[in-house]
Structure 1
Amino acid sequence: MTPEIVDDHGSRRYRKVVSISQRNNLTLSGHAGQHALAVAEAHGVRTMWTLSGAHVFPLYDAVVKAGEATTTRIVDVRHEQTAVFGAEATAKLTREPGLAVLTAGPGVTNGISGIAQAYFSGVPLLAIGGRAPAWRWGTGALQELDHPPLLAPVTKLSTTAAKAADVGPVLDRALSLARSAHRGPVFVDVPMDELYSFADLPLDVTPPAARPEPDPDAVAAIATALGSAQRPVLVLGSDVWMDGAEVAARRFADETGIPVVANGMGRGVLPRGHELLVNRARSTAFKHADLVLVVGTPLDFRLGFGTFGGGDDAPSARVVHVMDSPDGIAGHVDLAASAAGDLTSVLDAVLAATRPAPTLGEWAGRLREAAAAAVESDAPLLAADGDPIHPARVYGELSRVLDDDAVVIGDGGDFVSWAGKLIEPGRPGCWLDPGPYGCLGAGAGAAAAARLARPSSQVVLLYGDGAAGMSLMDVDTLVRHQLPAVMIVGNNGAWGLEKHPMRFLYGYDVAADLRAETGYDAVVDALGGAGETITKPGDLGPALRRAFDAGVPYLLNVQCDPEVAYPRSTTGI
């Protein structure tokens, strides 16, 4: 029998008659913060990311009052962007909704970039905002701002829970929507006076909307297109992981023998070394393919906007698009076929109906050879002994010490681009990068989230020196919450992703230089972590071992060659 908890709250008195761990068909009596926590936990939330603000105190009080009955941990940060990025990374790693609690006004506006990143990445995230008191609205109360219109363009729902009794039902609806295909962030703010107020809440939880089984005609069309393809390529994107379809995707690749290019969190579905993984032959694959099957990622700039082919043997390639919801299917490309729905169901249905072309083994072998040639070509860079250090040498050393389940986080432009090329995850769900929105500053929050979600795994945060300046203060968060991570700053004293193109376009560069002398490791040391500056390539290996053994946030400030630019294509491919 659940004990009753009676507590005084100012002149009011409330009684919590059910534990937070109990779910449907019960009634919770308490303040609106308790309602919010109960609903969030029922939808799978386990971490509350926040920066303290009086507008949202009842949400913290709910966790404290719940005591051992709650499964939620409060992680307080130094900047609201880190709270949202932490919540977003939590959702990516656990495939459960992330929760960011933001105080009113600047607390909410500071979180918008992280919410936008979650929107473009299809990540289920709930941002709860404080709001100026309803009874004072329109009189100039502190941080009085109508937030929902600001958040509407980058959320699936942006609204106000106007009354205490509305908080539970509105959050339930919001979280159900966030978890439904296509996943994404939702925003709900609550007037301060109502969040502190008390009401009875019927505790019912709405599951995500069910997705229909794949259309048999769409499945047949995809199978027909694949069956006639001589040089198909399978692209696996982040939604393969987010949709829990990584097993089906690997089965599909293994049984059809179709070569695979993976991006985003689709990386690792085929682990490094898999004979069908041809990321290193990406350009060759896309240029010479006669059909490209894209699963779980939009046909955006990362995939040349869906334009493939161009080789003599394939002036253009047919494109098949498979997404978790109909609104994700590309409308700007003339598709050979498409399907929407649960990605495991779609892949299994197409697999059952597909008969690959008999020449597919030759095509896969051709791409394996191209991938092997690319690896061989890069081998000298991975062992480069130059001074300053070539960024590829960093990854040559790092790849030797990474475990298969290591979580690797990219927060940067030029330096992280080298990682995307040279580091291949050993398992799915282990790679985080800025995604299609390309927002920097997510690193510290993602590192904290990774340590919480994967307590026994290596956590490696790859920072460009520009990106490091956006969130390095939140090493304090890692220290306070005892969340060790290894951080590597590729310090070339520049915004490299801008410096080199600007030189190419104009013959000069401005607003692109930083201080290579900045002691990023000293910043971490001052915040309670540790680190060191690396100037010689031969020192990288021993320094990495010290970092992984340190048991505290540890930063390697690697002096990289500012004249080395990551080689880029202007086509998006």
Structure 2
Amino acid sequence: MATKPRTGAHVLVDAIAAQGTELVFGYPGGAIMPVYDALPGSALRHILCRHEQACAFAAAGYGRMTGKPGVCLATSGPGATNLVTGIADAFMDSVPMVAITGQVAQPIMGTDAFQEIDTFGITMPIVKHSYIVRAVSDIPSVVAEAFQIAGTGRPGPVLIDLPKDVQQAMCDMPPTVLDAPAPLPLDEEGLRRAEAAVSVAERPLFYLGGGITRAGATEAVRRMVERSGIPAVCTLHGNGVLPTGHEQLLGMVGMHGAQAANHAVQQCDLLINIGGRFDDRATGRLDGFAPHASVVHFDCDRSEVSKLRHADVSVGGSLKHAVKSFRPEAQAIAPWLGEVYEKRRATPHRYDAPGEGVYAPALLKELSEKAGKRFVAVPDVGQHQMWTAQHCEFSRPEAHLTSGGLGSMGFSLPTAIGAQLAEPDAVVVSISGDGGIMMNIQELATLRRYGIPLKVVVIDNARLGMVRQWQELFFDGNFSEVDLSDNPDFARVAEAFGIEALTVSQRSEVTPGIERLLAAEGPILMHVVIDPAENVWPLVPPGHANHQMMEG
């Protein structure tokens, strides 16, 4: 049955709502204006961020938190190009997202019209799929396909570029809702070979990656790991798959990983990779990574298998279904368990830093403990990002939302906004450095406008800390362009935005500061002043294998 003719913009808004979406993040402009004309009175709640990059990060924060595609809107030209970093970040971390950009009308496309840019071409390498909608009648099917592609298989961003004349044209097409695709068939042969490999291994080890979360397989993996008795390490994005403190978890692997985790990877004879991609920050020097191990690799994306490290056994298909069917039975591994658990016991993190100043790892540990199981950390990029990964307690993988593949400064604040709106009852904490917070600090206005009860922690060492650390260690102390000592007073900046704020600069102020932060009913910023010379330890130097760790 046909519906009453409406503009393409109204058809688009209804099509988005039909996919189950209630929230979109955007910023208006000329070429997307018909869509903004259609938003009032619709089923969609629109969040006006103060920069298009923040719209994309916020949409990805929603997608990271829910597993459903987050939606961002922007106009043509600079609006679209400002989305690019957030789209690329989602692509690198396999985050479901639908980005919708206005485009100049078709009759003037290709004429260098005002605010015309080839959004389709610019974003092609950083999206899972993309569309230019040429006919208004195509909008319902394109939107339905975009959401399905973004959220199934290996998730990722999808772009819809929508010319203005298509938004203004009339259409009587109803929304389209597609059935969920059938799951990929179970790789029975791969599973049996993987089980056989475990049965003869003397030093097996699970390597838990971010693909577990994207597949909704966390609980299945937890049950399987616990049933097997085999120890595990995690990647940066695998943090929380096993909760912090789990008896089988040796810690995070890689450049700033735990010594026990890196030791286990280097000594194991079977590495069972579930949803990880063997990226360089996790492996260190690739030809020295897990030198004694055969590899079993579970992944829904066949292109990742043997891309960097040869897989002796691969298990494709749906990760969740494969893990549910996997029955690893390790044999005599008691000596191996004794070795790796003793290494963990002998190399704990220390929090007894000298002096009266704030020790950031201890502050972050206490913050996560006091926040409890509702804690969600959204770090920016830099030293504080690694301290968060190393020292916070995560009850689930969604409790740790981090920019892993792209490493985008400016990520934290807008991503945390998306996460908080996706899960209002969570204790979401944006953890930024003094460098990263300045890249999207305008989003404090978004917090104020919508009363979003986000906790913002700015760890201020008056430096670009990670760059400074590398210059100290690997560039003979030639500190080039890392001095941020002319930072503003971040607490006063927050107050200027109408947000409650406090400053913590002494160790004695940490506990009361955290208590005030967590007790706040609305948005609040805690400015934390730390020693500019503080470094992140341990560290695998570039070009070295993971067992060659600097301990500081």
Aligned to 2:114: 142
Q: Distance in 2 between matches of 1:519 and 1:343?
A: 47
Residue type matched to 1:358 in 2? A
Query: 1:255 aligned to 2:227?
Result: yes
Deviations 1:442-468 (A, max 9, x none): 112112112112211211111011111
TM-score of the aligned structures, taking structure 1 as reference length: 0.89
Q: Distance in 2 between matches of 1:393 and 1:97?
A: 35
Aligned to 1:409: 378
Question: Runs of at least 4 residues of structure 1 off by over 6 A?
Answer: none
Aligned to 2:21: 45
* Distance change in 2, residues 1:349/1:307 (3 Å): farther
Query: 1:342 aligned to 2:342?
Result: no
Q: Distance in 1 between matches of 2:235 and 2:2?
A: 44
Asked whether the 8 Å contact 1:299–1:330 carries over to 2, the reply is no
Q: Distance in 2 between matches of 1:322 and 1:26?
A: 46
- Which piece of structure 1 moves more, 82-91 or 553-562? 553-562
Deviations 1:377-405 (A, max 9, x none): 5132xxx3524423223224323312112
* Distance change in 2, residues 1:489/1:255 (3 Å): same
Residue type matched to 1:355 in 2? E
For structure 2, the 5+ residue unaligned runs are 252-257, 547-552
Out of 305, 317, 320, the position equivalent to 1:329 is 305
Deviation at 1:276, TM superposition (A): 0.9
* Distance change in 2, residues 1:412/1:386 (3 Å): farther
Residue 374 of structure 2: SS of its match in structure 1? coil
Deviation at 1:490, TM superposition (A): 1.3
Aligned to 2:497: 527
Aligned to 1:62: 38
Out of 541, 547, 552, the position equivalent to 2:517 is 547
- Which piece of structure 1 moves more, 342-351 or 389-398? 389-398
Deviations 1:150-208 (A, max 9, x none): 00000112231022222222222222221221211111111112212221214322245
Query: 1:424 aligned to 2:396?
Result: no
For structure 1, the 5+ residue unaligned runs are 1-24
Asked whether the 8 Å contact 1:322–1:339 carries over to 2, the reply is yes
- Structure 2 matches for 1:143-542, cutoff 5 A? 143-279=115-251, 280=258, 281-304=260-283, 307=286, 315-351=291-327, 354-359=328-333, 361-375=334-348, 377-380=349-352, 384=353, 386-507=355-476, 508-515=478-485, 518-542=488-512
Deviation at 1:35, TM superposition (A): 2.0
Query: 1:127 aligned to 2:96?
Result: no
Sequence identity, in percent?
A: 28
* Distance change in 2, residues 1:479/1:292 (3 Å): same
Residue type matched to 2:65 in 1? L
Deviation at 1:307, TM superposition (A): 4.6
Deviations 1:294-344 (A, max 9, x none): 11121111331795877xxx8521111111232332323221111111112
Residue 266 of structure 2: SS of its match in structure 1? helix
Residue 41 of structure 2: SS of its match in structure 1? helix
Q: Distance in 1 between matches of 2:443 and 2:278?
A: 34
Q: Distance in 2 between matches of 1:173 and 1:474?
A: 31
Residue 201 of structure 1: SS of its match in structure 2? coil
Deviation at 1:34, TM superposition (A): 2.2
Residue type matched to 1:252 in 2? M
Deviations 1:414-444 (A, max 9, x none): 1221111111202231110111111121112
Residue 203 of structure 1: SS of its match in structure 2? coil
Q: Distance in 2 between matches of 1:161 and 1:339?
A: 37
Residue type matched to 2:329 in 1? R
Asked whether the 8 Å contact 1:264–1:432 carries over to 2, the reply is no
Asked whether the 8 Å contact 2:48–2:446 carries over to 1, the reply is yes
- Structure 2 matches for 1:13-24, cutoff 5 A? none
TM-score of the aligned structures, taking structure 2 as reference length: 0.92
RMSD: 2.1
Asked whether the 8 Å contact 2:369–2:393 carries over to 1, the reply is no
Aligned to 1:21: none
Q: How many pairs align?
A: 535
Asked whether the 8 Å contact 1:309–1:317 carries over to 2, the reply is no
Asked whether the 8 Å contact 1:155–1:187 carries over to 2, the reply is yes
Q: Distance in 1 between matches of 2:295 and 2:264?
A: 13
Deviation at 1:269, TM superposition (A): 2.3
Q: Distance in 2 between matches of 1:99 and 1:449?
A: 10
- Which piece of structure 1 moves more, 462-471 or 213-222? 213-222
Residue type matched to 1:484 in 2? P
Query: 1:558 aligned to 2:528?
Result: yes
Asked whether the 8 Å contact 1:308–1:316 carries over to 2, the reply is no
- Structure 2 matches for 1:109-124, cutoff 5 A? 109-124=81-96
Residue 429 of structure 1: SS of its match in structure 2? helix
Asked whether the 8 Å contact 1:534–1:557 carries over to 2, the reply is yes
* Distance change in 2, residues 1:379/1:499 (3 Å): closer
